[in-house]
């Protein structure tokens, strides 16, 4: 497979359904997140095989702070473990690692671990894995506007300025956005960047979303006709 497929440059995923997956098996929610981390690994592997340039993942939204402390800390330690354990694998597969979002509010140990992994993989030229962490689309637009006007007092903001000041600056807008678990919403994700993105929704819960399910999404994308507002 791979023949005749239009490969998107940037695939973004709203990974949803970890809690429901765990509940359906009578497990704790964190078990769903752990299994979800395996889906992250599988999807990254396929992205590398398919030579997808950017794979971005909505790992924690600014709204997720409303979850119980125990779950939030469980997520941080899971991410810490994944980042530390996967760095050598990323290097081997030429994966560049990036984290985008409001990082100031993250625990220091996690900030250090992601900074180290970003540094170690900075010169990798294969797939870029972008973890959107403590991110929301409205936060991004507001921080972009604030930074622009602080640096350019009295000026008018143009569309290109917004592209440049968003945290995703330099990364092409997502061609394909996948959301799992049957939810069909943008949920304050990349609001500006998804203006012409193709959306793909599936009922599969994130821990069950592995290479075959990712391939189906890529096949569906391949059949879409993108006109960008033209005829």
Q: Which residues contact 19 (CB under 8 A, 6 or more apart)?
A: 29, 32
Q: Buried b vs exposed e over 94-122: b needs ≥16 C-beta within 10 Å? A: ebbbbbbbeeeebeeebeebbeebbeebe
Residue (8 or 17) nearer to ligand FPP, CB: 17
Binding footprint of ligand FPP on the chain (CB under 6 A): 15-20, 33, 36-37, 40, 57, 59, 64, 75, 78-79, 82, 131, 206
Q: Which residues contact 156 (CB under 8 A, 6 or more apart)?
A: none
Shortest gap between Cβ of 173 and ligand FPP (angstroms)?
Answer: 21
User: 3, 64, 134, 188: which is the annotated catalytic residue?
Assistant: 64
Residue (5 or 188) nearer to ligand FPP, CB: 188
Residue (40 or 176) nearer to ligand FPP, CB: 40
C-alpha atoms less than 13 angstroms from C-alpha of 98 in its C-beta half-sphere:
23
Residue 193 · residue 170 · CB < 8 Å: no
Please say if 152 is a catalytic residue. Answer: no
The residue whose Cβ lies closest to ligand FPP is: 19
Shortest gap between Cβ of 170 and ligand FPP (angstroms)?
Answer: 21
Please say if 102 is a catalytic residue. Answer: no
- Partnered with residue 177 across adjacent β-strands are 12, 199
Shortest gap between Cβ of 2 and ligand FPP (angstroms)?
Answer: 25
Catalytic residues, which ones?
A: 16, 64
């Amino acid at each position: 497979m791979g023949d005749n497929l239009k490969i998107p440059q940037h695939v973004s995923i709203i990974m949803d359904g970890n809690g429901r997956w765990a509940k359906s098996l009578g497990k704790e929610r964190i078990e769903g997140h752990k299994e979800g981390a395996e889906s992250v690994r599988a999807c990254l592997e396929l992205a590398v095989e398919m030579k997808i340039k950017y794979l971005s993942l909505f790992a924690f939204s600014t709204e997720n702070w409303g979850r119980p402390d125990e779950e939030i800390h469980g997520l941080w330690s899971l991410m810490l473990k994944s980042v530390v354990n996967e760095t050598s694998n990323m290097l081997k597969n030429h994966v560049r690692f990036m984290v985008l979002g409001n990082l100031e509010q993250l625990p220091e140990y996690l900030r250090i671990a992601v900074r180290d992994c970003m540094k170690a993989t900075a010169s990798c030229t294969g797939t870029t894995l972008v973890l959107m962490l403590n991110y929301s689309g409205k936060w991004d637009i507001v921080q972009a506007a604030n930074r622009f006007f602080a640096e350019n007092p009295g000026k008018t903001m143009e569309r290109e300025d917004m592209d440049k000041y968003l945290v995703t600056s330099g990364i092409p807008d997502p061609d394909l956005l996948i959301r799992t678990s049957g939810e069909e919403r943008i949920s304050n994700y990349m609001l500006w960047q998804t203006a012409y993105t193709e959306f793909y929704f599936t009922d599969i819960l994130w821990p069950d979303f592995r290479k075959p399910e990712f391939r189906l999404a890529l096949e569906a994308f391949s059949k879409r006709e993108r006109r960008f507002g033209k005829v």
